[in-house]
A and B are shown apart, each in its own frame.
Chain A
């Protein structure tokens, strides 16, 4: 019995390998029905003859020799069965894997991530991938179209679906590998959305398979839930006509996958530790050294031994280093050099300039000074409202019981005052409002801050402008609201903190900690390394209008700054040090690193798991599903015509 079921399973999988819609093969049950109908409903012409004696004998002679003589001899029935077979076969969509790309619309998804810089002999994987892409473009036939999409951290459409080969070649030649990690999702989304409009589209992923975000790609991401019952590998993915063309063979690489500066858990004050994590992807054990240097002077060289396929970590202890560039370098020559070096920018924590505009004698101002002044990041200055002029700028301005006529730059907090924003207003007041809900997702409400037990005697009944966001709400009106606009962070507290017991509550200092963290410039203090491909956050004093960014390659790029909000510089495709020059000798350095285990693991993947389906790696020529249903249907029609001819002639005996 088990053997029978195993046979059934193997037959089922064989059918799945040969047909795209094997369920239609159930229609083959129609064949016995056709035979039955034929036998039952065959219209025979009645002919009276003298005697059937000899006929009966002749028929007996024939049927004695062949039991299915009646069927075998009947061409029409055979033709009908043949038609049924062909039509059912066409419905079941048989296919075979064939090389080449005739008559196809191709969407080439080309990996240009850091791992594509891996040397394969004399060439990089990027060059191999480009050669494959060029070959596919050369194989284009009349009517074929190709689209080019590259993907790394970001995806770029290099060419729309076109049959212009020279344009495609130029685009392919222009592809260079970035130092970033690999994200396929966006490129896949492009290909998938194209599928909806372009019939017969085949996507080819040319990659080494080291893709970080495969889990995020799937049918569900596209709002098209495919209920899939069977778990067979390719069946589920068949809806997506996709091939994975693998480039690269080597796995000879080791790289730094983590580099950070930290406080030692036990140690002298002022002592620091640099932590370096190295991944050895090579099939042999790694024995090498890691050099740690600060501002180009070597701090330490330590030996590292890592078994094949494992990680090794090094911890360098050193005194506080001050401002400068800390660099870790793996002294090992492998196929991928880009991950052998990592940087950290060390700088003193940038001070956050906080301006408190309040009557110094007001009781609320006391609490505000007490909560803001002790923070080491804060440079607090207090100004009575009478002395406030629009020219006063700070990273964070807190207005207490006072609102300026116009919004200053920087992050703003209004306490018991209405910011000069169109649409905001107060309609009366709330007496003893109870906190009924808080938005715990908001950055100001981090650390599960819960001001639920705060007692407020009276609060303004705020009317918020469109686009505003309530952070803490009371029945009928918000108590704390985020009214940020145009990228400038603005928060409003609708009550006088002195008329509440909030300053005595633990949530009060935590809220202001969150407020300081909300200030964009606070990010600078923490940011010591940026992932390649991620943007640099440029925040400067409002008076500086522009800056220039110098990439590791030496190229300079001008960036227009915005006094109100941070500006993001996104062209960080290369690892290394980016120098931002704000003018007047004011420079800032950013370290951009790869630090990605997926990229450092250069061994090519055997398959891509996308949308629940495994696409096995193919090398050289892409083998595509070539469907046969058109031929079968054509043959069916031809046989139908033949049957009609036979039927109309009836001369064929």
Chain B
């Protein structure tokens, strides 16, 4: 089944979807899956791929006894085969109001990225679970598998609305508790949380999945073009700060921003979380195909 690109005009182009179909999610660690799938599992199972031998214990299925060895050694050994299970791709999208800024907006960019990653997962017969959260509430995608669910995924992603405050840690914690299956967890956020970015990344890491943090910032945040005397109003907290734009202030802002990004990158590096910096005005195709691949998310 192919996904009709026309129904997803804002998210992914059909050509681009075809390019994605050549990719797959790279799980750095072999995980335990929930259902039979196409990935090696830690479990030994019923595939045709030989894995190991072990001693027969009472109750084992006699069909798996290696009779050739019994003939030679007069001992019962069981032949073990590699089990193939699915992989769960967790897509966590920060849908706080701050994500609604930028051109294109950060939430739209995040949704497209998440849709692309989810699509790759679906094509790879992985289980895809997605959630968009903010203090205003949580929007969930029921875990789905298979390319046939791509429509469901894209539809979900296109419906995400950015509203409410940022509650990264609490929302992440809640998700991790509810979704125990390990796999690949990707968090899309601008990490502009007054309570800090560390908590949510720690919670994500504790889930045991392979974690990725996609840091999304708009051009207006990376290189603000403000002049004159301004009252900057925070979209979430309604707090304001009065600034008189000056070269020194802008310089200081950029220093702080790069320090902020670097702090997140270092934090992720120390905890084995993949950090991917994604400015919204960059070429989406290139970011998806090259940056995510080089970041280790795709193979």
Contacts and interface: CB of A to CB of B under 8 A. Distances in A.
B179 interface: no
Contacts of A57: 256
Given A52-B240, A653-B245, A653-B247, A58 B256 contact: yes
Contacts of A653: 227-228, 245-247, 250
Given A59-B243, A62-B252, A54 B257 contact: yes
B195 to A, nearest CB: 11
Contacts of B190: 50-51
A55 interface: yes
A650 B244 CA distance: 11
Contacts of A70: 244
Nearest to A53: B192
A45 B228 contact: yes
A49 interface: yes
A74 interface: yes
A47 B230 contact: yes
A230 B232 CA distance: 56
A73 B251 CA distance: 14
A50 B232 contact: no
Interface string B120-137: 000000000000000000
B246 A54 contact: no
A47 B244 contact: no
A73 B252 contact: no
Which of A44, A49, A70, A651 is packed against the most chain B CB atoms within 10 Å? A49
B285 interface: no
Interface stretch (B72-80, B218-226, B264-272, B291-299): B218-226
A46 interface: yes
A3 interface: no
Contact of A52 (B101, B241, B255): B241
B248 interface: yes
A50 B192 contact: yes
A518 B291 CA distance: 129
A142 interface: no
Contacts of B106: 50
B242 interface: yes
Interface in A45-91: 45-59, 61-62, 70, 73-74
A62 B227 contact: no
B119 to A, nearest CB: 27
Nearest to A45: B230
B231 to A, nearest CB: 4
Nearest to A46: B231
A333 B264 CA distance: 107
Contact of B239 (A46, A52, A58): A52
A56 B247 CA distance: 16
A42 B241 contact: no
B148 interface: no
Interface string A354-396: 0000000000000000000000000000000000000000000
Contacts of A62: 248-249, 252
B252 A58 contact: yes
A74 B244 contact: yes
Interface in A17-52: 42-52
Contact of A42 (B229, B232, B253, B256): B229
Is chain A's interface secondary structure helix, strand, loop, or mixed overall?
A: mixed
Contact of B194 (A42, A49, A53, A74): A53
A62 B257 CA distance: 15
B240 A61 contact: no
B226 A58 contact: no
A47 B194 contact: no
B232 A49 contact: yes
Chain B, interface size: which category? Answer: 35 or more
Interface in B55-107: 97-102, 106
B98 A51 contact: yes
Interface residues of A, number: 26
Given A56-B241, A650-B227, A49 B246 contact: no
Contacts of B230: 44-47
B170 interface: no
Nearest to B234: A52
Contact of B229 (A44, A48, A49, A51): A44
B235 interface: yes
B236 interface: yes
Contact of B253 (A45, A58, A73, A651): A58
Contacts of B218: 50
B260 interface: yes
B25 to A, nearest CB: 30
B256 A48 contact: no
Contacts of A51: 98, 190, 192, 234-236
B51 interface: no
A226 to B, nearest CB: 50
Contact of A73 (B99, B220, B246, B255): B246
B233 interface: yes
The residue among B221, B247, B249, B257 with the most chain A CB atoms within 10 A of its own CB is B249
A47 B231 contact: yes
Contacts of A58: 249, 252-253, 255-256
Nearest to B250: A653
A61 B246 contact: no
Contacts of B240: 46, 52
Contacts of A651: 227
Contacts of B97: 50
A45 B229 contact: yes
Contacts of A44: 229-231, 242
Contact of A49 (B227, B234, B255, B257): B234
A191 B102 CA distance: 79
Contacts of A53: 192, 194, 234
Contacts of A650: 227-228
Nearest to A61: B252
A55 B220 CA distance: 13
A50 B253 CA distance: 14
Contacts of B194: 53
B241 A59 contact: yes
Contacts of A55: 232, 241, 243, 253
A50 B244 contact: no
Interface string B158-182: 0000000000000000000000000
Interface in A137-184: none
Given A58-B256, A73-B248, A50 B229 contact: no
B295 to A, nearest CB: 24
Best-surrounded residue of B190, B241, B250 (most CB of chain A within 10 A): B241
A70 B244 CA distance: 7
Q: Which 10 residue pairs are nearest across A and B when measured between Cβ atoms?
A: A51-B192, A50-B98, A50-B101, A44-B231, A52-B234, A58-B252, A58-B253, A48-B233, A653-B245, A52-B241
Given A51-B98, A61-B252, 4 more contacts: A44-B242, A52-B241, A53-B192, A61-B256
29 contacts: A42-B229, A44-B231, A44-B242, A45-B228, A45-B229, A45-B230, A45-B231, A46-B231, A47-B231, A47-B233, A48-B233, A49-B220, A49-B233, A50-B106, A50-B192, A50-B221, A51-B235, A51-B236, A52-B237, A53-B192, A54-B221, A54-B257, A57-B256, A58-B249, A58-B255, A73-B244, A73-B246, A650-B227, A651-B227
